[in-house]
Amino acid sequence: MRSALTLLLIGWGVLAQENWIQRTMTCGTHCSQGLHCNARPHFTLAPCKRSQALINSTVLHNLKVSTVMKCEKKQNCSLHLKVTATVQINELLRGVSVCTASPSMLEHCRVVTFPRKARARLAGQLVEVQDDCVIEVSPSQNVQVTLRTFPDYCDMTLSRAYRVQGCDNADLRSHVPSCITGKIAYAVDMDRREISVRVSDMLEDRNYHLRLCHRWDICSGTEAYTLLRREDPFKNATLRFFSPLPCLCIEGWTSMVDAPRIQVCPFKNRTEELWSGVTFDSEKGALSWEPGCPVKAVITLCQREGESDCEDLANSTQTTGRKKVTYARVDPHPKLCMKFTTDAGSWIKCPFSDRNFLEWDLMMTEGQGQPQATLTSRIRTKLSLQVCQNGQPLECGEITSVTVEKMSPVPVNLTGDICQPDVCIRVRRADVQFSTHVLQCHLQCTRNRQYLCRADWIFVSAFTFVTLMIIAGLAGNIMLTVYQKRQANRRHARYHQYEHTAGKS
């Protein structure tokens, strides 16, 4: 643990040393041991020399390169290379040369010379040589520094590759003109679609450009632009914007050649704004989306079910970062949506959610005592009708494909089997590549109710008939009994009358 902490502190120390830049008012050349040395430009094409006396000798040691900042005013500083090395004095050496080269410039050399008397007095001793301003350099410049003996003896060189600090360094951003970008503060008014911008710490003797731009490989400008004059006491501006896209940035730069630019993006976290660019070409039936900003996204078409569920349509997945995405031959149904998925999450946009886009529909009716599916459409189209077994997943079999003319309903007769509780009817467009479907399940057929009512009527009629027959039978039995009694009474009366007549005789 202690060793790890030690390494971490050493690493911080190295980084701090690399980022720290020494400041100086004047440049100079210095040598230790009281040695008086001078520096001057040097250029030679002569080949190196060989010396038996210096073979197997190590003359040059510890080459170090750093950056120094020479300032005339607070905002007018230049960068220079500072080179330090240790040299073992030898009477054959008159000095050392320091050469710098980079891809953007020719080799530049300076020679530091030692007095002859000092060379004899300090022969064999180590002297530290320091040249404060070997060459002026630019931010982020790559430089190759080479230290040679003077005269140039073969195999007596030291080299170091060095990269100058960039404009991300705080000292450079504040004091080197080519790094000074100014500081931008802003406030957004979403109701007015305006951004109020204030600029500070800009170059005092220069004008300042300010604009809104969309950042892709470069920042592509919009119409919102203004120039802040150096003599204006307040460096404020108001810029209007159309859409708060995440790549919409405020860009500012000093009015000078190759000036660095600063960009601040107020809406960088508003990813949902990217999905508003969905368009539909009704003539071609093409659904398109063009990214307003570079974004890596997976796009699919899906059918919306409920508030959050959206079932992906087959073969509709596309991946893009910058290019326009187009789906040809799409059915503009209210349930058809476009799903966008990034590393940050998923978003769903339903461009046809308005019921005005509903071009066709399914209605269940009954004709001539038989269930029917009535298909209607506002356009001429071809619809596929299927009967499905309700389950996970649905098991469907196609019944027929019907061409529906504009505003001409087409009835399709169905069998009584669809009235079962586990049967569904599914309809979708068959003349497009991407379409949603309409599904109707748990169909309540009026035919069943008619059969039930007819059965009830037959039962009631039969009950009534039987009841009437019983009543009629009882009534007949009573009437027969009365009739029989009357006949018996009549026979009895005749018998008594006959008996009486016979007695008189």
List the one residue out of 72, 254, 267, 62 whose CA is nearest residue 147: 62
SS3 at position 478: helix
Confidence check: pLDDT of 475 > 80: no
Residue-level pLDDT at 493: 54
Higher-pLDDT residue of 443, 264: 264
**Cα 282–Cα 287–Cα 288 angle in degrees, nearest 5:** 125
Whole-angstrom CA distances from 39 to 50, 111, 112, 360, 475 are: 24, 5, 4, 91, 151
pLDDT tens profile 280-333: 998 899 999 999 999 999 999 999 987 778 999 999 999 988 899 999 999 999
Amino acid at 232: D
Which pTM was predicted?
A: 0.65
Buried b (16+ CB within 10 A) or exposed e, 295-309: bebebbbbbbeeeee
Q: How many CA atoms are closer than 13 Å to the CA of 450, on its beta-carbon side?
A: 9
Residue 251: predicted pLDDT: 96
How many CB atoms are located within 10 Å of the residue 286 CB?
A: 14
pLDDT at 447 over 50: no
Tokens in use for 194? 């305006």
Digit-coded pLDDT (tens) for 239-248: 999 999 999 9
Mind spelling out the 3-state secondary structure of 18-31? HHCCEEECCCCEEE
- pLDDT per position as a tens digit, 175-191: 999 999 999 999 999 99
